[in-house]
Structure 1
Amino acid sequence: MSDEKVALPSPEYWNKRMEEITGADIKRTTATERKIFRAYRKSKREIEREITAFLARYGSENGMTYQQALVYLNKNEFRQWRMDIKEYIERIEKTGDELLLLELNTLSARARVTRMEQLMAQINVQIAELKQEQEEIFEEHLEESADDSYYQTTFAVQQGLGMATTVAVLDKQAVQTILETPWSGANYSKRIWRDRQRLTQVLEDELTQSFQQGKDVRQTSKAVAERMETSYANAVRLVRTESSYVANQASMKAYESAGIQKYQFLATLDRKTSKTCQKMDNQVFDLADKQIGVNCPPLHPFCRSTTIPYFEGTKGLRLARDAKGKPIRVPADMNYEQWKKEYLPKLAA
């Protein structure tokens, strides 16, 4: 409880600071999207190479028929396949994809395998490794987003008040709780692996159709590339939406740590702003009543809205004090790195 006279900063101050924090997160997300793009580009090239080699081996310049794709491997081909499938299984064991591992183990026990099954096993492995890399990229990005948003928000609150507040350390477990929460029905990891299954099925359907229609290598590769681009677009939507969720949740934890009891919804107002966010702009809610997707962003995919702390006074603020019981003041001209180095070790609880 605070009985100190604290000058509350203007709404313009909070708007500016939260826009800066959101802007930094958007910049970080854009860099992450480039990493995901490179992973998809590499995987797409590998899959196209597999398809080209497949058509060169079993088809002709004009492609191949679906009947040719369903032909069983001969003895020599099957012998090579048994060696390849062992390698595929070892690679998939590293990804932790239990569903695909079961599929490959079942396939490896078969006495006969078609050319199409052979090709799809190769493609499945490529996609699983892509999704494993995507998950690792996401996790690193979201952990950094949570940490930065939490401490940047704490710094903005303290500098705005001119006084330090208590700071609860955002440890790895707290971050993992944010990341693993299925706030929209499933967390980011489950959505990534669901897309693996969806992309695999879509590519199999596309290849089946290409063989049935007698498409050549160029046409088949183009069709596959388009499906991969759709999956990449889904990945971009997911990373932007999850980034918004993580950053906003981290800010909420910073409010809670400081003793802030209310927050104000802040929409990014431009031509792209959804009607939902327009209606929510400037509305005030109790922190205890926050509901993600209802009164706390993100409200929808690609949501750019954020929140700012709302004060009706200083009641409830947890002001930090020195050994003599005096409030610790935070200079207005101090930057984030200086604050993090000088104040954070003293304030962290």
Structure 2
Amino acid sequence: MADKDKLTYWQLRAVRNEQKAHDDANEKVEIITRAYLRAQRYLGDQVNDIYKRYFDNGNYTAAQAEEIMNTAVSPTELVTLRALAKNVTDVESKKQVTDYLSALAAKGRITRLEELQAKSYIAVKQAASVEIEHSTGLYTKVIQDAWNQAAAEKIIGDVTKDVQLYEKGYVAELDKAKRQIRIADPETGKEITTVSAVPEKKVTEFKQLSTRYVKQALNEQWHGKNYSQRIWNNTDKLADRLQELFTAQQMSGMSEREMAQAIEKEFGAGIYNAKRLIRTEANYFHNKIKLDSWKERGVEEYQLVAVLDKRTSQICRHMDGKVFKVKDAEVGTDYPPLHPNCRTVAVIHFANSLYTGTRNANNPNTGKKFKINQDATYRDWERMINE
């Protein structure tokens, strides 16, 4: 960043608030991960039962495995599957499971293989329900916090953007006759600037967000989907990959241990996708809602601030410190998230701000944090840790 682009106190506060959203996301990640692991354990137990009951000696051909897995199960097993489906709470996921089981029931005969595949589908959709529930709660909070933060930035920034009130020890005095706040240097008495003590119009920045607005924001698509659709899509793919494991050919060619490892691998990929999604979406909502708020309040420019560590992507290294027009902002191009797992944050930019200060940076060589000037870019940080 150039000297004229140094971060103000309120910009630094915005970065810290984004970090809080990131930390809140990590708390939800733990809950969602546990849901996926529960589904993994359940499915692993179901597969182990089949191996122990039918494939215990390990000496079986693909034809024998196919015969075993194509054996019809008791009609009461459909009742068991429907009882299992009651734990799917998300409306759309429940509809998907209901449609799945209805199609299965219409066949009139359910094989052992189809039963196992149905259990895998339901288990994954149970995890999807947990993911949607906790993601929705997180994003709702992020939306409300981001809106209020943007309001505070604009109101206070308008008053303080041209003066170093706290750093320089300037004194604010109220001139009742002129209805102004006079900012003066206490040593010389020289007037620095004045601020109107009466707003030109009623301040409405801290109005409560309507439920309709929050719902609309949650349902808004970016890059073709909203977060719920991405969860449904990700869990559909996970269910498909698991069902591909449960074929006579696969089961005849894999030991019980190998099958358990294959299931663990697929759920590991599912957990990774869930983590990446919730962190990326939290970043999206945090920054997108601020952008909407800035547009409503007439903010003209914003600045990108990247996290300074070795995990910072090439694109975020390049974009760190750059200033853009609010009216031209485009998510994924010049506005975060710039990529999955993006940690870059957009902060309000006042062109005439003179605030100085520092921000935290990580030194991967020592594992310790250190202070770096607000105007330092990713390249500056990189040079410092390599000196």
Give the structure-2-normalised TM-score. 0.71
1:133 and 2:172 equivalent? Answer: no
Offset of residue 156 of structure 1:
3.7
In structure 2, what is the Cα distance between the partners aligned to 1:144 and 1:304? 18
1:143 aligns with 2:183: no
Aligned counterparts of 1:63 and 1:136: Cα–Cα separation in 2: 45
Identify the residue that residue 152 of structure 2 maps to in structure 1.
155
Aligned counterpart, 1:45: 41
Matched, 1:35 2:74: no
1:303 partnered with 2:301:
no
Between Structure 1 and Structure 2, the one with more strand by share is 2
Residues 1:64 and 1:124: Cα distance change in structure 2 (over 3 Å): farther
Q: Is the 8 A contact 1:93 1:101 kept in 2?
A: no
Q: Secondary structure at the match of 1:51?
A: helix
Aligned-residue offset at 1:92: 5.6
The one of 71, 74, 92 aligned to 1:73: 71
Maintained 8 Å contact 2:300/2:326 = yes
Partners of 2:277 and 2:59 in 1: CA distance: 36
Asked if the contact 1:92–1:128 (Cα under 8 Å) also holds between the matched residues in 2, the reply is yes
Deviates most, 229-238 or 258-267: 258-267
Q: Is the 8 A contact 2:295 2:327 kept in 1?
A: no
Task: Provide, for residues 73-132 of structure 1, a one-character-per-residue CA deviation record: whole Å limited to 9, x for no partner.
Answer: 35xx32332433443565568643344432321211223322111111111111111111
Of 153, 169, 181 in structure 1, the residue corresponding to residue 208 of structure 2 is 169
CA distance in 1, matches of 2:34, 2:292: 34
Q: AA paired with 1:52?
A: N
Change (3 A) 1:136 1:260: same
Root-mean-square deviation over aligned CA pairs:
2.7
Unmatched 5+ stretches in structure 2: 161-198, 354-387
**Closer/same/farther in 2, CA of residues 297 and 94 from structure 1, 3 Å limit:** closer
Instruction: Say whether the 8 Å CA contact 1:95–1:128 is kept in structure 2.
Output: no
| Paired letter, 2:209 | L
Q: What is the aligned partner in structure 2 of residue 256 from structure 1?
A: 295
- Residue type of the partner of 2:104? L
Q: Does 1:293 align with 2:352?
A: no
The match for 1:222 among 261, 269, 284 is: 261
Q: 1:94 to 1:195 in 2, by over 3 A?
A: closer
What is the percent sequence identity of the aligned residues?
Answer: 24
Query: 1:1-349 alignment to 2 at 5 Å?
Result: 11-62=7-58, 66-67=62-63, 68-71=65-68, 72-74=70-72, 77-88=73-84, 95-97=91-93, 98-162=95-159, 166-167=204-205, 168-208=207-247, 210-216=250-256, 218-312=257-351
Rounded Cα–Cα distance in structure 2 between residues aligned with 1:89 and 1:65: 33
CA distance in 2, matches of 1:63, 1:192: 40
Query: 1:311–1:92: structure 2 CA closer, same or farther, 3 Å change rule?
Result: closer
Q: Secondary structure at the match of 2:222?
A: coil
Q: Tell me if the contact between 2:337 and 2:343 (Cα under 8 Å) persists in the aligned partners.
A: yes
Q: Is the 8 A contact 1:43 1:130 kept in 2?
A: yes
Note the C-alpha offset of 1:270.
3.2
Q: Relative to 1, partners in 2 of residues 1:152 and 1:252: Cα closer, same or farther, differing over 3 Å?
A: same
Deviations, residues 18-47 of structure 1 (Å, cap 9, x unaligned): 221111111111111111111112111111
1:5-64 CA deviation, whole Å, 9 max, x = no partner?
Answer: xxx996242442122111111111111111111111211111112112222333325386
Residue 186 of structure 1: how far off its partner (Å): 1.0
Do the aligned residues in 1 keep the contact of 2:88 with 2:129 (CA within 8 Å)?
no
Where does the alignment leave 5 or more consecutive residues of structure 1 unmatched? 1-7, 315-349
